[in-house]
Amino acid sequence: MNRNRMGKGKRGVAAVMTAALSTVLLLGGALPAGAQAGQPDTLKSSDSRSSAAPFSASSRKTELRKEEASKGNAGLTKEELQRLNTVMELIQRQYYQSVDRDKLVSGALSGMMEALGDPYSTYMDVKAAKQFSEAVEGAFGGVGAEVASEGGKLVIVAPIKGSPAEKAGLAAKDVILSVNGVGLSGMPISEAVAKLRGPKGSKAELVILRAGRSTPFSVQVVRAEIDVETVYAKRLDRGIGLIEIRQFSLNTAERFAAELDRLEKGGLKGLVIDVRNNPGGILPVVEGIVQPFVPKGKPILQIEQRGHAAEKVLSEGSGKDYPVAVLMNKGSASASEILAGALKESAGAVLVGETSFGKGTVQVSYDRDLEGGLVKMTIAKWLTPGGTWIHRAGIKPDLAVKPPVLYTASRLTRSGIIAADTISEDAKNLQVMLQGLGYKPGRLDGYYNSSTADAVREFQKASGLKASGRADLPTQEKLEAAVQAWVRSGEHDAQLEAAVKALQGGSGARK
């Protein structure tokens, strides 16, 4: 089935929802960490009864009730309620300590959502729901990283650009094992996120396990107030424009349109859209951003709900007369992947970088009758225009380009001096950093030999430190600061360089 959701009188994905719906989501992670790192990823939908078949709110709600009732899923039966009441009464009467009643109810609701086995479906108590609502407004305090719960572990989907998490070197797929000495394994995600929150200027000591590394490392993150500016644009050489989208929040489409108009008025020979480390956002927002690039009648994506065939969302746009490249990496999730898939399959864009995160589901949030709490739940799959479900697989780039090694270098544990004539993970990471900065450690296998000591000595001289050749803590601190400055300079972005070259007719360009 095809449907134009962008035309007059069409409410888009909001028309899918029942009257209990408050929010439509395309989050990269289950909850935003450290005060909602992925905060602008929601859309408030109205409570109206759309007549847009087959997804009008009232008719769909009635249909679902009939379907659920026929399967015995319309709600708890008397027997099920009795079992819950029995357990509640037993705890209140006989448990050896007094227990907060609200905590028990929240625990039962959380357990129900956790039983789905879906990291993107969760119950939030009043405190967590308040944090989530603050996230929707676009400003928050914390470490600045989108997170998800996978197998009982808290996993980073993407750090927000410019956030404390990014500055500390955290990366997509990092597992946060503990915060300030408190282990997070098996902890409900709302509680884990609360541990990451804190006042501006407070410190969070995180223990991180990184893929490909056997030993966890510690990193200290100073929490900050983060007001996410979601769109940045600039003109590159030879008529190429660059627009970076950091998240798809409520005002992102408007800001994107304004920046695109400004670039086009100056003349464009090509456009790079950068969604690296963009954890996702609001579905109608990404639809609105993509639409001008996709010719009228071509699909932007497909939505597939339980019991219904996939439905194509068609564009009302006119397309562009200049080539487009999309920059993506393993931190590009959900709405970012919708953009990449739509522009590749329906607008001929070239994808540059690394395989994306792989999140192909749509969530909604419900807050009615929950007394301040909130349920976020997966209600549909989304597919690319051609019908591919990218969940857990991601989208592969047309032009695969890995970032320079310093972009993904692991942090040093700073547990002490990295001793000469020893083998360690820290020595290996030290060697990688030195080589990336232009020094010559002689090897990259973690054995701290005389060549490594010579490279350390040269770095110390250049940094105004005592040239001892010993990797003491001041040297480690200076080295990591030099790496961060190198990365933030933006002068070594091999992926962006490849995208520009592709647009100018080099390898991977689409004609």
Residue appearing with tokens 């005060």: 35
Kindly name the residue from 320, 330, 359, 376 that is annotated as catalytic: 359
Q: Identity (one letter) of the amino acid at 31?
A: L
- State how far the Cα of 338 lies from the Cα of 360, in Å rounded to an integer: 9
- Which residues are within 8 A (CB) of 270 and not within 5 positions of it... i.e. 6 or more apart? 239, 240, 241, 322, 323, 324, 325, 500, 503, 504
Residue 375, helix vs strand vs coil: strand
User: Which of 380, 296, 386, 283 is CA-nearest to residue 339?
Assistant: 283
In whole angstroms, what separates CA 320 from the centre of its chain?
Answer: 28
334 has catalytic annotation: yes
Given phi > 0 = left and psi -120 to 50 = alpha, else beta, which region is 455? alpha
User: Which of 151, 156, 182 is CA-nearest to residue 170?
Assistant: 156
Q: How many CB atoms lie within 10 A of CB 58?
A: 13
User: Which of 472, 435, 474 is CA-nearest to residue 452?
Assistant: 435
Q: Could you tell me where the DSSP H helices lie in 138-290?
A: 164-167, 189-196, 252-265, 283-290
- State how far the Cα of 272 lies from the Cα of 466, in Å rounded to an integer: 44
Residue appearing with tokens 């997509």: 172
**Residues β-bridged to residue 140:** 226
Q: What is the DSSP string of 4-64?
A: -SSSTT--GGGGGS-TTEEEEEB-SSSEEHHHHTTTT-EEE--------TT--HHHHHHHH
User: Which of 102, 214, 112, 223 is CA-nearest to residue 164?
Assistant: 223
- State how far the Cα of 236 lies from the Cα of 14, in Å rounded to an integer: 38
484 has catalytic annotation: no
Q: Are strands 21-25 and 224-227 parallel, antiparallel or unpaired?
A: unpaired
363 has catalytic annotation: yes
Kindly name the residue from 363, 431, 476, 495 that is annotated as catalytic: 363
Kindly name the residue from 39, 50, 249, 334 that is annotated as catalytic: 334
- Alpha carbon distance, N-terminus to C-terminus of the chain: 30
For the chain, helix, strand, coil in percent to 5 are 35, 25, 45
Residue positions annotated with a catalytic role: 334, 359, 363
